[in-house]
Structure 1
Amino acid sequence: MTAPVMVRVGAATHTGNRRALNEDAQLSTAPVFIVADGMGGHEAGEVASGAVVAEFGQLVGRDALALDDVRQAVARARAAVDQLATTGAARAGTTLSGVVISSVDGLGYWLAVNIGDSRTYRFSAGELEQISEDHSVIQELLDAGELTAEEALTDSRRNIITRAIGAGSTGDADFWLFPAEKGDRMLVCSDGLTSEVSDGRIIEVLSNEADPQCAADVLTADAVAAGGRDNITVVVVDAIAVTTRPGTIVLSDDMDDVDADTRPRETVTGGVR
């Protein structure tokens, strides 16, 4: 059986300039491409993010994954992180964001998952689409019109998230299912990238660096050079071949909570965030 989406991948991570420990973790082996940004201090975040990657690592090597596969991996990851509370790491928690290769009737699809404020984007035809939606206090204030995008960049609450795996959170993951297209470039990153590097610069790098590993390396280096106030992790996934045909999304009955609206929350073609 041939995978419905064939990919090339690059990944990079850096502790940053102000942290002693890198609590980010990533997995970038088909069909799973995820980033987890740990929190909790005293190495608890590192253990939490590592637990998420370990659970999703069980899915590596398959041609494609179904929604239930990802749901079960999230549930196992949550149980593993919650178990850390019994070892004294009660505050351990982590974000999770990324995409997996999926299929509908044998056709190539992306299935995105998100909990927290790490992000998943699609870059295609020169446009950067934010697929995931931040689970954060800032995003809630933006949605309510109580904060402008410019104010959000410096607001003291910008690091407060409203959902996580662990850290006392029981918030559900969000999922999006959408057709893959040859030429798609998926970007998955921790907020150490997006808090330092503008959308305009991200677009420039994704446009000019053809190799996904080079793109990941340059974006990570840019975030470090811009201040590196947090850990930075970047995964870039290029769809080099896709089994596809024009059409609409087809959802089975057990996918009724997947967001079938594939329009991004925000599309950027230039400028700064």
Structure 2
Amino acid sequence: MTLELQAAVDAGRARSNNEDSVATDPETSLAVLADGMGGYNAGEVASNMATSFICTELGRWLREASAQAGDQDVRRAMDICVDNANRAIFNAANSNPQYAGMGTTLVVALFRDGRLLVGHVGDSRAYRLRAGRLQQITRDHSLLQEQIDAGLITPEQAAFSANKNLVTRAVGVEDTVLLETHQHDVQPGDVYLLCSDGLSDMLDDNTIAQILQSHESLETLCASLIEAANDAGGKDNISVILVRVGGGTTAAPRSWWPFRR
């Protein structure tokens, strides 16, 4: 299995600062995305702490232990790294008044041996495009999703709700956090998208699917997704990570990494 990765971040059209952050470790097939929250530049601090800490620490563990580690070991390593990042952000928020109340959403995607292990906190998402069909493979930790699950509103009504940005779970807000983790089989030709709500709030699933099938270049696809979200209003920061799965024998992933924020 070969992997091709591409990432991009954009401030959007309504905000001057960027509180999204992305990071990858191509050697270990790891991708991390976070969408920060908090006053001043606290959201930017929280998201950067989360992506940098998790990519560095989990990447180091994977390089040292991945060959012998089973899936349960990897899940536990993900939990521990996220818990440590959560405590670091929580402690920083409580020791510095400027960062009080800061936190971040999180999506962590790890590809290994024909499987994807994806963990998330909050309303940043992971999608899979397979054979032309786009499927959301994470479920938002948000008030809006709880209302949908309870039958109080329909998904169509949710698109116009004023409660879009109210998450029920975030990294760094409390002294503990629960990472929701699921495993998926990976097939050659799959394209996986990690994104912040700056993308998913602006574009519906059909539009995202059409864009993902419009070009061969992942760099062009990232740019097209961001351009479409901005054309639809660009009301928030927009971050995307794309991972395309190829066939053949196992090899080091190819990576194009234009910047990191």
Aligned residue in 1 for 2:19: 23
Q: Specify the alignment match of 1:80 in structure 2.
A: 88
Q: Which has the higher contact order (CA 8 A, sep 6+)?
A: 2
**Quick one: which of 67, 72, 77 aligns to 1:69?**
77
2:148 matched to which residue of 1? 142
Match of 1:41 in 2: 39
CA distance in 2, matches of 1:204, 1:18: 25
Equivalent residue number for residue 91 of structure 1: 101
Deviation at 1:57, TM superposition (A): 2.2
Structure 1 CA distance for aligned equivalents of residues 77 and 176 of structure 2: 19
Tell me what 1:100 maps to.
Answer: 110
Aligned counterparts, 1:200-239, within 5 A? 200-239=206-245
Q: Aligned letter for 2:81?
A: A
Residue aligning to 1:53: 51
Distance in 2 separating the partners of 1:28 and 1:182: 20
State the Cα RMSD in Å: 1.8
Q: What does residue 123 of structure 2 align with?
A: 117
TM-score (norm 1): 0.82
How far off is 1:241 after superposition? Answer: 3.1
Q: 1:154 maps to what in 2?
A: 160
Residue aligned with 1:237, SS: strand
Percent identity between the aligned chains?
Answer: 34
Q: For 2:217 and 2:32, how far apart are their aligned partners in 1?
A: 19
Superposed displacement of residue 169, structure 1: 7.0
Instruction: State the 4+ residue runs in structure 1 displaced beyond 4 angstroms.
Output: 61-65
- Superposition deviation, residue 242 in structure 1: 6.5
Cα 1:55–1:235, aligned 2, differ >3 Å: closer, same or farther? same
**Higher percent of residues as helix:** 2
Q: 2:213 aligns to what SS in structure 1?
A: helix
Shift of 1:199: 1.1
How many residue pairs were aligned?
236
**Helix, strand or coil for the counterpart of 1:121?**
strand
Distance 1:41 1:205 in 2: 33
Q: Shift of the alpha carbon at 1:99? A: 1.1
Cα offsets for 1:69-92 (capped at 9, x unmatched): 211210121011112121111211
* TM-score normalised according to structure 2 size: 0.85
Contact 2:83 2:177 in 1 (8 A): no
Unaligned runs of 5+ in 2: 251-261
Q: Which residue of 2 aligns with 1:257?
A: none
Contact 1:121/1:132, CA 8 A, preserved across alignment: yes
How far the C-alpha of 1:168 sits from its partner, in A, is 3.3
Conservation of the 8 A alpha-carbon contact between 2:193 and 2:240: yes
Q: How far, CA to CA, are the matches of 1:186 and 1:124 in structure 2?
A: 9
Give the 3 Å change call, closer, same or farther, for CA 6–170 of structure 1 in structure 2: same
Q: Secondary structure at the match of 2:182?
A: strand
Determine the C-alpha separation between the residues in 2 that align with 1:174 and 1:57. Answer: 18
